[in-house]
Structure formats: structure tokens, C-alpha cells
Structure 1
Amino acid sequence: MELKGKIRLVAFLLLAGLLTFSGIVFAGTTGKIVGKVVDEETGEVLPGVNVVIEGTGLGASTDLEGRYFIINIPVGTYSLKASMIGYTPESKVGVKVSADLTTTVDFKLSPTVIESPEAIVVTAKRPMVDKSRTSTMHIATSAEITNMPVTTSDGVVINTAGVVFDRIGGPVATNMSTNAIAEVQMITGGFNAEYGNAMSGVVNVVTPEGGPGLIHGSYKFTTDKGISSIDKDKYDFGDNNHLLSLKGTLPFLGSGVKYFFSGNLYLTDDWGPRLHKLDHHKQQTYRTQGKLTYNFTPTMKLTLGGFKNRRQYQMYNHNYYFNLDHYLSTLEKAEQVYAKLTHQISKNTFYEAKLGMFRNNWTRGVVDPLLTDEDKWWEDWKFKIPLLDATPADSLHVYQDRDQTWEYPLAVPDLFYNIGDHRFFENRKTDQVIFKFDITSQINYNNLVKSGFEYNLYKVKRHYNSLPADPNPFLDVYEFKPQVGAFYVQDKLEYKGLVMNIGGRVDFLTHDAKLWPSETELPYTKMNEHPEARTEKVEPKITFSPRLGVSHPVSETMVIFFNYGHFYQMPRFRELFMTLNPNLSRANQIVGNPDLKPEKTIQQEVGLSNQFSADLAVDLRAYYKNIYNLMAMERLPTNVGTPYDIVRNLDYGTVKGLEVVLKKRYSQYWALNLSYTLQYAKGTNSDWFDQYEIHARDAMDPVTGLTRVFPQKTYYLDFDRRHSLIANLSLRFPKGFGPVVAGIHPVQNTGLNIVYNLGSGLPYTKRDYKGNPIGEKNGYRQPWTMTTDMTLSKSLRLFNTAVTFSLEVTNLFNRRNVLRIYPITGSPYDDGYQVPQVADRGISKDKVSDYQWNFEKVKDLNGDGVISQREEQIAYENAYKFYVRDPMNFGPPRQIKIGMAVDF
């Protein structure tokens, strides 16, 4: 890296804390502690005991029945102290609080004649069975995430039971780095009324707050540079990841302003390698994020935060192998600022008022090499200009039409796109203002009520062009201002033998797009030139979602739970607004529908949690989901002669399954989380775009001559992974562990974490040589996939500073996982088509130009200056084998990185 680049890197890491971030700001971020205090000798309840969370202003006194509760506690690990005159104080350390959950901490105080200044200290051990939970929830704490072989919040979610991930799609800008996470909650069962606009689950990422002291922090750096020197061809992916986090208290405004900041810079030459390192697969990402908190009074707190992220990455397409610089790249920029006021009105009640602004700018197209230096990671890439938007001054920066006829290094035409640009450009912009208000009240010891509302105002823009080198392209340009809001109320009832979560939620969506008076009788062919043709207003969409969760503790170590709920997801803006005024002089137009209904899921779940011993527990759950109003495509005829496809709520699906999770808490140097999921997912379509492809390929009925109508039938969906097994094994060897060699313990402070993923193959439809389906749709299965990831770490103290060295290996055994196959053969290597006979083109050195011979001579196997028919055939067969051996059909190979982390 040049000197200026190194200076920019150092400056970035030092200044990351000047930019602020909120994770998923408007989800739950606090929990509750309840308990009971009794006399250790008599067992009688003790009223009037002071219970405080040390280091905070939070606390409570026990009531006449010896009970207490503390609400509005930020996620984290605390020390809890109980004290009363005449009794020895007792502190319980290591008390963990999770968002939206109840932690129970009971005390038994010993009487004393003379008050002892020393408190009894007990390490709290949280029960592995949470009696307050009424649905399936997986929680990963910051300590657990640190030990996992992952770098982002997505990596944590992928390794969760019940999550299906295809490992094919590109990254997203709002993904969070692990050094900015206090806790990740993955709610895969039913969820409370507070959460909406989701049907399958909720991921709640909680960011840390600042701590005591002026500054504490950590810096971590991982790279494959040292490993690549062993075998550059195998392990050199140009991977470098920097993570910096800072927290503390600034000595301002009396009690001080707590801060938390983090920065992440990730640079790689290949963000998703397949069989080997891929060309045109760079990624350059920075994330800057943080939070400021200030307590005006012990009961009022202001939080300010925000983030500024930028991710730009190149994309690979095997058809462009010899022309990848003219294939797609993506730039996504996301930023947010917010303010949150938390006011504890009384020990029983507090409210939160939040105001935030979010902006996202997403562009995908072909990068302009004349305006972009891809080695300067701090600069945004510039894209080529569609012909329709260009001026004469832009002649060097416009899209060029692509072609397969020109010859390339394999000297065989008509296989690869070897000149021109890929036919795609799109820019989407979203501006969002959100206001949310929540109030929580512990009405009595057993009854916690929470209610709130939110309002979101959006401005969404799209500029889409799928033929940017054509003066008459598929074009879509729009700007709309949708509004989305919700109101909810929920009540959590907690008794010794029963916990209930009861709630309801109302959501609404309205916008300024309009409908045509008739969808088939259109006044113009080129509707894009007459947007005034849409005159009919769209009625607001309003939904009501009842939610119910019940938990029954059968014993101190066993709980059964049940939940039922309706869950809605509002239509995506793209499907609402895209191509509302199509140009019907072009066929195969896809038109959005401003009148789409929200998609709906009705879910039932039943489960059991049982703790067998102090450190071993099992969770069982069974679930069933009915999914309605899924989007699909309907082809409509028109009076102007050209049919088009419109998005409708036509499809239906069901998902049912069984999940088993075995958890062994850390003890005797090891911990284990083992999960198995059996799932069946069926529906009438896997994606709303499926029907469009059928219409475009086989639109007309050969008997009637009319648009073909396909009967609706359920089949296994594309994401129907029947069996999933995930194992997370952690070995931790503390200080003083192991044999002594030369006066030291070489194994102490060493950790090993292994994550194993096993999944059955996803379904596909087998086809014959004409493309016709064979048997049932999605009636065949791809091969199973298996990956093993490992992190080995060793911690030392150097110059009174904690330093950790690590070795991270993904796909440890270098398994070649198949992600895509050809539907004719079921193989990732062979598409099933017979290589055609190639004619003798009569090419020889003395008959063509020197320029052409430079391409053709690669086929001259015997060096006689003449390309025979046999040599033409061999060249074509070799080129075709290379063509069908698409590396994107396979998963990532083994990757090895070394790292160092410093805590200060």
C-alpha cells in the first residue's frame, strides 16, 4: 500500500469514534431483574431490603412479601447487592440481563449481631431454562460472539438453528461488525406485539454503552498475508480486516458523558471465493458506529447515536470471464442519526421517545475505469452512464453494447461475452424519518404492560435501465413518499406457575401512487410518456395482529411453552412502485402494483425446555406456519396488443418443522451448542419472479392461442432444506491450566472454537434437453453441504497489556460444496448438452491478418499454420468444458487468516 494509503488507514482508525451509530435502535434494548429476599436461617421474607445494581443508579426495595423488581436495565452483565441493617450484605456477580427478558435473582441474607463491612460475594449462575420466555429465542452474548469464527452480525445469524442461508447473495451495508455488538437475539418463534413488519423471525442487535474510566478499547487485525506466503495460489485472497472499539466516560457535564465508538475497515480481493480466487470480486467496506449517553438526572437519560457505512464490491459472472471489467459492481452507502430520551417516571414506569433519520443509496452497474481508481478504498466508485441519460460530453463514459461473436483467448466465438458492457444499471435511494414512543409500566409485581406507536415517513427513488446501451430501453424512474406506522399494546403476566405474553398490533401503509382506471383497456402504448393516466387513489392498508404466548414451569428445571400469532409484512417498495407506466412497445414488461396487500403468516409453536443438570439443557420445539398473500406474477392482455406481467397477491405457502437444541454451558473447560432442524416448506411459488419466467418462456397455449393459465399447485420451495445440523464447540483453558514447561504454562489462556454446519441439499426441477420439466417441480435434491470453521486463540500479557493472537480457518477440511447444479444432469460440471460438430472454417496463417492469427493460433496444435476441422473441434470442446465449469456452482474453499487483538 502506498504511503498516502497507509496514512489514510491510520487516520480512519483514529477518527472512527467521531462518527456515531445505533444498531437496530428501535427494538428492545433493556431487560428486567426480579427476585425475593428471605432470612437464611428462618426462611421468612424480608421487607425493606435495599437491592441495587452496583455502578448504576438502579435499584429497588423489597415489598411486604420480600419481593423486588428493577426495570429499564440496559443489556449487560452486572453485580447485584442486597443489604439491610442486622444482616450481612450479599453481592451476586455475573448477573446477565437480556433484552425483553426477566432475570430472577433471589437472596438469602444471614443475620449478624454486629454489622460486617464485608459483603458475601456469590457468582450468579443463570438458569439455563428461562421461565419468562414464551417462544423460541437464541441469544449470543458479546463474549460468545468474540470466540466464534465470524466477523459480522450476519455470521452469528447464519449459525443459528432454523436459519436457511444460500451463501450466494452479496453483502449488505447495514451488516454490523462484531466489535459493535453487546448481544444478538434471534427470535425464530412467535414474537411480541412490539415487533412488526416481519413474518419469519426477528433479529435484535443491541449495541454497548460506554463504561467507567476515560478510555478503554480494543484493536483487532486479521489478514491472510502471512499465510499466503505458504501457497499464494491457494490462500492469497488479499484479505485484511481492521476493527477498533473505544468506550469510556468523558468528564463533561457533571456525571460525565458515556461513549461507545467502533470502526471497521475490511479490504479483500475476493469477498466470496469459490473453487479458487475469483477475479473481479473485490470488496472495500468501512463502518463507523457509536453511541453517546448522558444522564441529566438519575431518572432521565439522553442517547445520541448514528452510523455511516459504505460497502462497494465487484460481482463475478462466468459468462464474462474474459471481460469481467465490464460486468457489474455494487456501491451501497447507509447512514443514520438518532436521539433517544429515556425517562423513569417512577420505580414502576418509564418511557422512551426516539427520533431518527436514515438514508440509503444503492447503485449497481458497470464501473467507469476512466473515473475510478479501485486501489483507493476511501473513494466511491463511479459508474458508466446509460445512453439515454448521456450528453455529448459523456461519450467516453456511456455503456457499450455487449457481444459474444468476437473471439477471445480460447479462439471460440458465441460462448462468452467478450466485448461491451453488461446490460444493467440501477440506482435506488431511500430517505426515512422515524418517530417511536414506548411506555413500560410494572403495574404490580406480576404485571408488566408495554405500549407504543411509531410513524415512518419515506422518500423512495429509483432509476432503473436494463438496456443502458439502447436508446429505447426497459426504463423505470420514479419518486414516491410512502408512510408506514403502527400502534401496539402488550401485557406480560408472570406468576409462579404461569407466564403469559398477550398483545395486539395495528400496522398501516399509505402512499401517493395511483392506479389505472382499467388494467387492460389502456389509452396509450407508451404509458411512460403519460403518467397522468393513473388517476385512481389507493386505499390505505391496515392490519391487526393478535399475539399470545404462554409458558408453564412444570418444575424448577422444566418449562413448556406455546405461542400463537398473526404476523404481517408490508409490501416492499419496489413491488409497489416499479414500472407503473410501462412502455408497451417492448414485450415482457413487469409492472408493480400500488394496491398490493401485506403478506400474512399465522404461526403456532409449542416447545419444551428442560435442564438436566447444572450445565446441561435441551430445548424442543415444533412449529407450523400458514403464509398468505404471497406475491406472484399475473400476465394480463391489453387492448394495445402487448400483454404485461403485474405483481399480485396470489401465492400461498406452509412451513412446518421440528427443532432440537442441546446446550452444555461452559464448565470443565468446554461448552457445546448442538442443534438439529427438520423442516418442510411448501408453496405455490418460491419467488414472485418465478411466474414471469414461465410466461416469458412459454406464454401461449398451443391449443387456444391465448395466454397460458397454469394451475396453482403446492411444491417444495427453493429454500426447503430438509435437515440442518449445527454444532458449536468451545474449549477454554484458563490461567494456570496444563503442564509446566520451563516455568510457564504453555496451554493456559488458550481457546479453541469449532463451528460445524451440515445441511441437506436444496430442491431443484429436473429438465430434459428442450427445457421441459421432468416429474414434480422441485422433485429432485442437490447434494448435502458441510463446512467446519475454526478459531484458535492464545492470550498473553505484554507490557501490562492483554494481547490475543488467533488463527482463523473457514472450511477447515476444504470440502467442495455444491451450491448450484445443471437441471438436466444434476451435476455442477456437466450441463448435459451435446457439444456440436464444428465446421472447418478454413483458417490458416497466410489467409488471415496477423491480428486475427494472434487469436486463432492457440488452436494450431501441430504448429503447421493451418487450423484443421479436428483442431477446431478440440478447441470448441475445451472451451465448452471451461464454460460449463462455473466456479459459482461451488462453495468457498479453505481460507486461513492470522490475527492479533490488543485490549487497552
Structure 2
Amino acid sequence: MIMPGVYVSSQPRTAVLRMLLVLWVVASFAIANAQQNETGRLSGAVVDAATGKPLPGVNIILKNTVLGTSTDLNGEFHLSGIRRGTYAVMASMIGYKIKTYENVSIAPGSPVILNFKLEQSFIETSPVIVTASKKSKSLAETPNSVSVITSADIRKRNSFDIREALRYAPGVSFVGGQVNIRGTTGYSRGAGSRVLLLTDGVPTMPGDSGDIKWDVVPFTVVEKVEVVKGAASALYGSSAISGVLNIITKEPSRKPTFSVRVSGGMYDDPRVSRWKWTDKTLFTNQQDLYFSNTFGNLGVILSGGRRNSRGYKQNTQFLRWNLFGKSTYKFSNATHVTFTGSYASDDHGETLLWQQYLGEPIQPFRVPAQESKNTILSTKLYLNSTFSQLVNQNFAHKLKGSYYRNRFDNDFVDNQDFSKSQRFRLEYQADVEPSIRHSLTLGVEGMYDIVDGSFFGRRKAYILGSYLQHEYRFSDRFSSTVGLRFDYNKVLDGRTEYQVSPKFGIIYNVSEVTTIRGSVGRGFRAPSIAELFTNTSASGFQVIPNPELQAESSWSAEVGLSTSIAGHILLDTAIYQERFFDFINPSLSFQDSLVVRFRNVQDARIRGVETNLTTSWFRDRLRTVVSYVFVDPRDLQTHRLLTYRPQHILTASLSLKPGPFELGMDYRFASKLKREQLEVFPDDPRVATKVVDARAGVNFGPYSLVFNVENLFEYNYTQIERNLEPTRKFSVNWQADF
């Protein structure tokens, strides 16, 4: 019994928790070791069917279990701990057709050798993804629409970060630097995102602004980015209201790998001579180093980079630094721990509006004189550790702990505001395959935020969540997914809210190359600390708090079809609708100045059609990718179009690879916004987005050289009023891989 007023130390409780954790780990090792003696083994090799050369890094999956591995430098693999039975074994690798051996019999004491010959696939019909189900699944087994951007897509576009490649991902667009999936996000400067960013499955969003910081993970360490479309809160909770971006980082290489990357470029002068704002050459430059190797059971990745730009218009200069490290230690084939760390610094100028004085011509490359030295220094620190274990072929679990610190300091003419946030997160996930027809994913997680600064005051918040997903296979062709998540969100000095997020999905494989999918689910987004408590002013705008702001929620549904034609054409199309409730939007009013306050102002509906067409010819020497999205975004109270959401979005890419050379061209189009879709200056002139990017490159041995031109025809356009988008930019990138 604890008497009132008596202080009880937390040290005994901490010691008990540590003891329980140690006992859990020891028991898991003991169970796993005991079961190894009663099981069989599978080994083999994977080679290229055309050349016979071994293929390292091929994913080997024992279907309907949680067992899997990858091939080593010699293309060989080994799987142990397999119970007696008959299985299907799948081998998959980007750029090759998936191959599956059915009816493979495994028995204790009788090792099985299985060799694969993989054929090149120039159209990726069903890549293995992990985001949609929180575990590895082929795309044909996923009820959601998913797009994948590879490291090659990022590398050839010579980006400062992954956004340049994401602009051409099917269904993805950007408005004022903010990511939109099928037009759902719109624009809200520096406060909240309706798309959740993950890094290796771990949410990577700051606890104060709740928006995406693109420089946290450098693109040099990115293996691929998976884009899951539609509400995903049934697995991921808040902010996954409209979709998920999962940055999957590279695994440590099995032999020493060292890369050097150097890039330089410049922005062109404006097409209109009177818009020229400086006589200086507007240079950009980047330098990156990357190292990876495995020392016994320890794999290591180290990366560092620097990015510097004078900017294409006044006060858009920046200097960015980043450091990244990743290490994986394997206690055994079934148990390993991974540590990831990243630090990023960004010192940049800040512009809100171009210079426009009464009675004078506009100067879209200049800012008002009093704001020409406004800068922001932003630093981010991200740490994560993951303990993973395959206890047996039907049960695997992992424990993830992460820390994210975000700090930014304004150096503005009218404020010196700052904010520092810390986010602590812990998650336990278990994957269970109780039978060949059933598959379960379940887990619990908690997040705790501490925010301090002049922007928001001192704030604390926490979210507790639990989730369960069940997949049932009626047959080899037909399966269903049912999921449910419960979240408890508490903001001190704010609201307490409960959220229940269900989902349901079905998949029907008509044939090996044609899949029909359907899904419906609920999503939600808790308001960020910035939306609740911001109290500041800048450039004539005053932002005031609203601590009574509620979470916004949605119901998302889609039906889609994916099919491959003659091995050269891949067609994917989907009809979708999202119904939003208590939509969070900045509301403007005019008092002594322009006042901004976030409110639950709308019930909204966004529906449309997405169609993607990929073709490959002449053994992938010629490839085209075309994506079109029609968006109908409506405020259901006023029946007007939602702001900052183009109704027609089109992207097209062409790639030609004659020998060691590569030529490419990208085009993106977004229709002109209607007058009712502008928030601040609705009478400003508007144009559609019509941008062409071009590139030419050559690969010679370990070296590559790429020349890029962004905005080839120097098209002038805005997405947000009085904010001109980048003009033409030339750049050259040289990379050496050893």
C-alpha cells in the first residue's frame, strides 16, 4: 500500500523491467536453439539464367512462414529451423522475374539443396514490398496501390534529396515543396502532413511541426522508397491518413564498398532581363562519401555529405550537412540487432512572398527589402535500434526504439523564435503464421513528445496504440485482409482523443500477370503541436493558437487492376475516393494584420482515377513511364474545390540506353488552379505547371558521369501565390564506386 504524500522511487520498477527484458531475450534464445534440433535445412544457389553468374542479394522467402534470407557474394543461401512439411520457396530480386518452387519437402536430418536460375525482367510486375503489410509481400499480394522508386531513379536525377525522383512516382506530386498523394494534402506551410514518412518502417516525423524533413536520411544510403496510397492508419496510426512513404535504406555490403560523388551546377538567368536580381553566378555543389563492409558478424554503413547552393532567387541560399551510420550485428542467422543514426544541419534563407510594391513592376526573384536576410537554422538527430528474431518458422518478433530531436531557430527581422522537440518511441511487433491459410501481424507502440520554445511554449503529448491485422488465404488466387488499430492521444493543455481505425482488403489473382484488388479503411491525423499552439508573426502574417483543434479523420476506398501485356507493358489503374471529416485547414482573417488560425473547417471528399503505364522495349534499352491522375477535391459544405489541389496531374518519363550511354527526359504537368483554390491572393494570375527535365550520362567501369538540365525550357510558374518555382538549372554529377 502506498500512503498519500509518500514518494516512491522508480528505481525498483526500472530494475524489474530490465530483468523482464533480459529474461525475455534469454528465453527467446533458448526456445530458438531448442527448436533448431528438431528441424530441417534448406540451401542452394541463385544464378543469372543468361550468363550463369551468381546473383548476390536475392531475397529467398519460405512462403506462408516468417522465414527468409538473402544470397551472399557467391549467390548462395542457407535456411535452417524449418519444420517437417511441404513448402513453396520464392526467389526475388529487382530486375529479375520472381521464381517459385512448389512442393519442396523438408525433413529433419535431410538437408535440401535448391538452385534457382533467374531470368531478367524488364517490367517489374510484382516486386517484393514491406510497407503495406509491415512485412515482406509481393505486390500481387497487397490490396493497396503501391509505387516504388529505386536508388537508380534517385541517382540519375542528381537531386539534393529524394524529392526530385518522387515527383515522377505514379500518383505523387508536390505543392510548395509539400508531398501530395493523389492530391490529398494540398498545402499548409510548415505544419502537419497527411502523408507519414517512415525510415525502415519507423515513423520519422518531428514532434513539433509534424511535417517531413527531407534531409534527415541522405539519398546516398537509400535502396528504394515505397509509396502506399490511401489511409494506412490501421497499421501506422496518426499522419497516415492519406498514405505512407517508406525510405528503405541499404543493407551493409558483404565486401568493402566505397563511393565518391561530386556534383556542380548553376541556375540560369531569368528570361525577363529586368527580373535579374544579382550579377553573381548562382552556383550549386554537392559532395558525398559512402562506405560499407561486413566484418565477421558486424555489417557497417557510413555516409557523409555536404550541399551548398546560392539559390535561384534572393534569399533561397542554403548550406546542408549530413552524417549517417548504420550497423547490423548477427548473433545467429535468426537473431540480429540494427542501429541507425543520422544527423542533419540546414542553414537556409527563408522567403514568403516576392517583392511587389504598389505602382511598381513585380520582382518575382526578389523579396521585400526588410526580409532579405531572414534565415532559419535547422538541425535534426535521428536514432533507432531494432532487435529482430525468428523464434521459429511460424513466429518472429522485433522490438524498435527510436529518438528524434528537431530544433530550428529563426533569425527574422521581426522575430527570433525557436523550437526544440524530442520524440521518444517504442514499438513491439510480432508476426505469426499459425497455418498455411492464416497470417497475423500484431503490435503495440507508444510515442512521447516534449516540445520547448517561443513558438509553442513548453508542451508535452503522447500517443499509445495497438494494432492487429489478419490475412486469410481462401485459395492461391483469392485472399483477404482485415485489420484494426486503437490509438489514445493526449496533449497536455489540449484535448484527449481516442481513435479506432479499421481496414479491409481483398486480392484476386486472375492469372500470373493480372490482379484485381480492393480496399477500404479509416485514417486519422492528430493535430501537430504547431497547429495547436503556434503564436508568432512573420512578414505581416500573425499566427494564433487553437488548443481545441480536433483530429481529422477519413474513410478511404479504392478498386484497382494491374496487368502485364506480352512482357513489355504494365498497366495499373485504380478508382479511389477519400471522405474527410473535421478537415484541418488554416483560416485567414483580416484585423490589424493578416491573422492565420488552424480550424476544423471542412467536411471534404476527394475522389478520382489514377492510371499508370510502363513499357520496356529492346531488352530495356527503351523504357517509358506515363502516369495520369484525375482529382475531384470538394468541400462538401460549400461545394467549392479544395485549395491548392490541381485536378489533372500528368508525368511522363523516357529513358534510352544505347550501350554505356543513357539519355532521358521527364515531363510533368499540373492543371491551372481555379480562382477559388487560392487562399491568400485569389486575383493573382495563374498558369498550369509544364516542366521538362533532361539528362545524358555515360558509365565506364566503376565511374559514371551524368549531365542534367532541370526546367529545360525555363518555364515560369507558381504553385503558391507570389512564390516563383525554380528556373532552369544545369548540373554535372561524377561518381566513382570501388
Normalised TM-score (structure 2): 0.73
Query: Relative to 1, partners in 2 of residues 1:512 and 1:161: Cα closer, same or farther, differing over 3 Å?
Result: same
The answer as to whether partners of 2:297 and 2:331 remain within 8 angstroms in 1 is: no
* Superposition deviation, residue 151 in structure 1: 3.9
Specify every segment of 5 or more residues in structure 2 that has no aligned partner in the other structure, as ranges: 1-38, 47-55, 80-87, 105-111, 127-138, 178-188, 191-211, 356-365, 590-594
1:137 matches 2:146: yes
1:565 matches 2:521: yes
1:348 matches 2:248: no
Query: Relative to 1, partners in 2 of residues 1:222 and 1:324: Cα closer, same or farther, differing over 3 Å?
Result: farther
CA distance in 1, matches of 2:234, 2:632: 27
The answer as to whether partners of 1:554 and 1:560 remain within 8 angstroms in 2 is: yes
Output aligned runs, 1:65-84, within 5 Å: 69=65, 71=67
CA distance in 1, matches of 2:436, 2:507: 17
SS in 2 for 1:481: strand
1:158 matches 2:167: yes
Query: Relative to 1, partners in 2 of residues 1:792 and 1:97: Cα closer, same or farther, differing over 3 Å?
Result: closer
The answer as to whether partners of 2:614 and 2:624 remain within 8 angstroms in 1 is: yes
* Superposition deviation, residue 220 in structure 1: 1.0
Deviations 1:328-373 (A, max 9, x none): 211110002221100111122111101111100012233xxxxxxx
* Superposition deviation, residue 76 in structure 1: 12
For residue 307 of structure 1, the aligned residue among 338, 342, 364 is 342
For residue 816 of structure 1, the aligned residue among 693, 713, 716 is 716
Deviations 1:555-593 (A, max 9, x none): 22211111000101111112333459x9xxxx9986534
Match of 1:891 in 2: 725
The answer as to whether partners of 1:502 and 1:549 remain within 8 angstroms in 2 is: yes
Query: Relative to 1, partners in 2 of residues 1:725 and 1:648: Cα closer, same or farther, differing over 3 Å?
Result: closer
* Superposition deviation, residue 75 in structure 1: 12
Match of 1:731 in 2: 656
More strand by share: 2
The answer as to whether partners of 1:93 and 1:121 remain within 8 angstroms in 2 is: no
CA distance in 2, matches of 1:782, 1:322: 21
Match of 1:266 in 2: 307
CA distance in 1, matches of 2:260, 2:398: 33
SS in 1 for 2:517: strand
Match of 1:432 in 2: 423
Query: Relative to 1, partners in 2 of residues 1:92 and 1:485: Cα closer, same or farther, differing over 3 Å?
Result: closer
Match of 1:204 in 2: 246
Match of 1:523 in 2: none
Query: Relative to 1, partners in 2 of residues 1:72 and 1:195: Cα closer, same or farther, differing over 3 Å?
Result: farther
* Superposition deviation, residue 235 in structure 1: 10
For residue 459 of structure 2, the aligned residue among 480, 503, 507 is 480
Query: Relative to 1, partners in 2 of residues 1:286 and 1:590: Cα closer, same or farther, differing over 3 Å?
Result: closer
The answer as to whether partners of 1:193 and 1:547 remain within 8 angstroms in 2 is: yes
The answer as to whether partners of 1:80 and 1:91 remain within 8 angstroms in 2 is: no
CA distance in 2, matches of 1:603, 1:60: 31
For residue 501 of structure 1, the aligned residue among 472, 476, 481 is 481
CA distance in 2, matches of 1:811, 1:594: 42
The answer as to whether partners of 2:230 and 2:241 remain within 8 angstroms in 1 is: no
Match of 1:281 in 2: 316
Match of 2:667 in 1: 756
Deviations 1:695-746 (A, max 9, x none): xxxxxxxxxxxxxxxxx5231112221111111222223xxxxxxxxxxxxx
SS in 2 for 1:194: helix
Letter in 2 for 1:134: P
CA distance in 2, matches of 1:309, 1:75: 33
CA distance in 1, matches of 2:468, 2:221: 30
Letter in 1 for 2:463: V
Query: Relative to 1, partners in 2 of residues 1:315 and 1:508: Cα closer, same or farther, differing over 3 Å?
Result: same
For residue 656 of structure 1, the aligned residue among 599, 607, 623 is 607
SS in 1 for 2:657: strand
* Superposition deviation, residue 670 in structure 1: 1.6
Query: Relative to 1, partners in 2 of residues 1:433 and 1:76: Cα closer, same or farther, differing over 3 Å?
Result: farther
1:622 matches 2:575: yes
Query: Relative to 1, partners in 2 of residues 1:487 and 1:119: Cα closer, same or farther, differing over 3 Å?
Result: closer
Number of equivalenced pairs:
606
1:601 matches 2:554: yes
The answer as to whether partners of 2:64 and 2:435 remain within 8 angstroms in 1 is: no
* Superposition deviation, residue 615 in structure 1: 2.5
For residue 225 of structure 2, the aligned residue among 174, 177, 184 is 184
* Superposition deviation, residue 117 in structure 1: 11
The answer as to whether partners of 1:190 and 1:563 remain within 8 angstroms in 2 is: no
1:673 matches 2:625: yes
* Superposition deviation, residue 452 in structure 1: 0.7
Letter in 2 for 1:135: N
Specify every segment of 5 or more residues in structure 1 that has no aligned partner in the other structure, as ranges: 1-46, 62-66, 84-89, 110-115, 367-420, 465-476, 515-537, 637-643, 685-711, 734-747, 822-887
Query: Relative to 1, partners in 2 of residues 1:661 and 1:795: Cα closer, same or farther, differing over 3 Å?
Result: same
* Superposition deviation, residue 202 in structure 1: 0.6
* Superposition deviation, residue 493 in structure 1: 2.6
CA distance in 2, matches of 1:292, 1:661: 37
More displaced stretch, 662-671 vs 561-570 = 662-671
- Percent same amino acid among aligned pairs? 17
Deviations 1:360-416 (A, max 9, x none): 0012233xxxxxxxxxxxxxxxxxxxxxxxxxxxxxxxxxxxxxxxxxxxxxxxxxx
Letter in 1 for 2:660: N
**Two-structure CA RMSD over aligned residues (Å):** 4.2
Query: Relative to 1, partners in 2 of residues 1:573 and 1:103: Cα closer, same or farther, differing over 3 Å?
Result: farther
* Superposition deviation, residue 104 in structure 1: 6.0
Match of 1:512 in 2: 492
CA distance in 1, matches of 2:71, 2:573: 26
Query: Relative to 1, partners in 2 of residues 1:93 and 1:162: Cα closer, same or farther, differing over 3 Å?
Result: closer
Normalised TM-score (structure 1): 0.61
* Superposition deviation, residue 820 in structure 1: 5.5
